[in-house]
Structure 1
Amino acid sequence: MLPDPFTTQDGDVIIRASSNPDIKHDFRVHKVVLSLASRVFKDLFQTAQPDGGQEDPLPVISVTDSPNAMNLLLGFIYPGFVPPTITDLATLATLLTIADKYDIPTIPPIVRGRLADKGVLKGDPFGVYIIARRWGFTVEAKRAAREITLAKISESPFSGDPLNLVKEDFLRLLWFMQKRGEETKDRIRALAADWVDNQDHGFLYCGEHSGDEARKYYDGLTEQIMKEFDRNPCLGRWDMVMASKRARDPPHDGFCDDDDELHPEREEFTIYCPLRPTNIIYQLDLLACSLEQICEKYLGKAMDGDLPI
């Protein structure tokens, strides 16, 4: 590893970075390295001339980027230099901007990998969404959109800076959240109606539990899942199971543990008590699949389709 690759004495060109007249920094670098990484740098080097006011005879390229931004860029393209592991979204956005300016194709895939990191995504999904949409990272934008709640938007530093927001991207996200939320909550509200007193699908009681008792439990479960969805719109099977354990109004004598058996009066049905744990988990699986389908339907339209916005 090079000890300090941006100030080496064998450098053959100086990049003078300054976004402020009072703050300048010279990077002594190598034309061949930067030319291989960037066609823009290669073209700039064709016209570089020494600064007559300096003792150093090397040609100088003056750029309007901040020294910190240029140092960050060079750290990702210079051989022998281990680039930092960046989790800060503002820094990743800066890296993408300067990489685009100098046409460096190796950097966007690195940033996409950071945006896909679970810790980064969970920490600020709205920021990930804004960056991903701006730079055309469709997969990462969709992953982020799934995670976003109104609370996550308000908590994100990106929501407070109008320069970060593209109106159409923001409206697409809000449309997705609204449509998914409406249909998802309708589907969750239908939980009790679908799972209780539905004998056409074999919902017969075991003799220990009544329909009223089952409905009371499922009403409480519906309420709990609605709360879980508001906090975590990516509800999966395990989230559903945990929600069932936190639901109010469990059966007064515990959940049903009887084995299925033929109903004595209607042999075409088996007894299928909605309060048997295995049946609850089975129905929660179905609900989780249904919510995933709803998410995918509106996610595709929001990210890829033409919306009336």
Structure 2
Amino acid sequence: MEEERSNKVAPPPFNDAHADIILRSSDYVDFHVYRIILTHASQVFRDMFAVPQPAGGRDAGAPVIEMAEDAASLVVMLRCCYPGLAPTITSTAEAVQILRWADKFGLDGVAERVGREFEEFGEIESKPVEAFALACQYRWRGVAVRAAKASLKLSADELIEQQADAALSAITGKEYQVLFQYHRSCRVVCRDLTRYTAWIPRDINCFDKHAHTTCGDTKKMGGVSFARWWCVYMQDMGHEFMQEGPATVRTMGYHLQAAIRGMGTSSCCACKSVKMCLNFVRFAQWLQLEIDAAIDSVALQLPF
């Protein structure tokens, strides 16, 4: 004879003796739940309960539904169904797990709620490609934009080398191409700021005027003469934008220090002045603002 099995009862609030249905997990834990709550929260349960159920087991007067999921999975799914019990999301892995059950059981509003919480717990910046993949799948524009911007901390090579994982496997080739194209567009617009000077406000662009009048150490850029050290700075910045993630390239970093050293070794006395140095630092700060604005403008073109 088959040995009798004693099923465990799930912890509160899934142990209500007055519940009108029992979900039995694959590892034999009974969840005493209410049909009306499941019907309200889940399209799958709405469809299931709309069809007359075949005669089956009963326990304490309530029908028993055998589930393929284990108890731990049912806890996550049912907490998404019950008002006020939604699980707190603190990692990408938890978000993926909840979304999996939301998809399987047609849980209303869960994907939208997860998307809102996903923006708060910080892994968008540390796992931008994975976050972008989820955002594409569930149409979370806010997450997609933040993840795309966070990807700018990666170089082009690092972006290509990102390993596919459980979340990334859901992204289509077209969506991955969107992310890579965004990354490249940001590199290009930032590089172009170092090639063309029409965007520079005239009140801080004294470098070409100085080159045309008193500077004896000049170099042409875009057909216009500038102080040589200034051209070297702009060319080095442009090269780094194309090689590195634009978000990691700062106008006030290594290249600015190198430019100031170049000012000190220039044959032009005016280039060595404190006034020129302060004006150049002001220009570098303005360039950073233009870079940030250019990146924001490209983000507006993301198709989500």
TM-score by length of 1: 0.68
The count of corresponding residues between Structure 1 and Structure 2 is: 272
Query: Cα gap change, 1:178/1:231 in structure 2, threshold over 3 Å: closer, same or farther?
Result: closer
Structure 1 partner of 2:252 = 241
Structure 1 partner of 2:56 = 51
How far apart in 2 are the matches of 1:111 and 1:224? 39
Deviates more, 1:288-297 or 1:221-230: 221-230
Matched, 1:139 2:151: no
Deviation readout 1:198-234 (Å, 9 max, x if unpaired): 11xx778999x96589533662475367547855433
User: What does 1:171-186 correspond to in 2, within 5 Å?
Assistant: 171-186=177-192
Query: Cα gap change, 1:110/1:205 in structure 2, threshold over 3 Å: closer, same or farther?
Result: farther
Deviation readout 1:98-156 (Å, 9 max, x if unpaired): 22443333322321123323621111011110000111112321221122134256345
Amino acid at match of 2:45: F
Query: Cα gap change, 1:188/1:94 in structure 2, threshold over 3 Å: closer, same or farther?
Result: farther
Give 3-state SS (helix, strand or coil) of 1:241's partner.
coil
Matched, 1:198 2:205: no
Structure 2 segments unaligned to the other structure (5+ residues): 1-9, 220-225, 266-270
Which of 37, 40, 51 aligns to 1:36? It is 40
Amino acid at match of 2:112: P
Asked if structure 1 preserves the Cα contact closer than 8 Å seen for 2:42 and 2:106, the reply is yes
Amino acid at match of 1:187: L
User: What does 1:80-229 correspond to in 2, within 5 Å?
Assistant: 81=85, 83-87=87-91, 89-117=92-120, 119-148=122-151, 149=154, 150=156, 151-152=158-159, 154-155=161-162, 158=165, 163-189=169-195, 197-199=207-209, 215-216=228-229, 219-220=232-233, 223=236, 227=240
Structure 1 partner of 2:12 = 4
Which of 252, 266, 272 aligns to 2:264? It is 252
Deviation readout 1:143-184 (Å, 9 max, x if unpaired): 2112213425634553x8773231211122222222332332
Give 3-state SS (helix, strand or coil) of 2:85's partner.
coil
User: What does 1:258-297 correspond to in 2, within 5 Å?
Assistant: 258=275, 273=276, 275-276=277-278, 279-297=279-297
How far apart in 1 are the matches of 2:272 and 2:161? 41
How far apart in 1 are the matches of 2:130 and 2:192? 29
Structure 2 partner of 1:265 = none
How far apart in 1 are the matches of 2:162 and 2:12? 38
Structure 1 segments unaligned to the other structure (5+ residues): 259-272, 305-309
Amino acid at match of 2:295: C
How far apart in 2 are the matches of 1:130 and 1:44? 31
Amino acid at match of 1:84: T
Amino acid at match of 1:154: E
Deviation readout 1:218-276 (Å, 9 max, x if unpaired): 6247536754785543369xx43345665466243897434xxxxxxxxxxxxxx3x22
Give 3-state SS (helix, strand or coil) of 1:172's partner.
helix
Q: CA RMSD in A?
A: 4.0
Give 3-state SS (helix, strand or coil) of 1:81's partner.
coil
Amino acid at match of 1:280: F
How far apart in 2 are the matches of 1:247 and 1:11? 74
Structure 1 partner of 2:222 = none
